[in-house]
Amino acid sequence: MPHSTALQNYLRTFRKRSSLSQTEIAFLLGDRDGSKICRHERFARQPGLATAFAYEVIFQTPASKLFSGLYREVERQVVRRAEVLTARLSAPESKSTARKLEILGKIVAPAQRP
């Protein structure tokens, strides 16, 4: 998979497009002020899963797109580990191993496309 220069997240971009302030986003998230949103936008803190889903609802954009840089990094790490696990399992010795190799192949295959 080619490396890209994607930002860790695009929260600020989507917030600006929506014309919502950090304080207004904070309200939608159930927070008192926009300090947490500011930290998320500056990449100083990663939101929890529930907050990432809330951003998805607010901006009507998949979390994987809102956090595309982070998503790509996580994807690259998982693909690398799937390749290692595939090598460890080598040939299918049982139905279970064959199924594992099938699943791992689906993880690795998209990463090998241009």
Q: Is residue 6 part of a domain?
A: no
Same domain, 33 and 84: no
pTM: 0.81
Structural contact between residues 36 and 26, judged by C-beta atoms closer than 8 angstroms = yes
Q: For 56-88, what is the HEC assignment? A: HHHHCCCHHHHCHHHHHHHHHHHHHHHHHHHHH
Question: Does 2 map to a domain?
Answer: no
Task: Render pLDDT for 6-55 as a digit per residue (tens, 0 to 9).
Answer: 789 999 999 999 999 999 999 999 999 999 999 999 999 999 999 999 99
Give the percent of the chain with pLDDT over 70.
92
3: in domain: no
> 2 pLDDT exceeds 50?
no
Claim to verify: residue 96 and residue 53 sit in the same structural domain: no
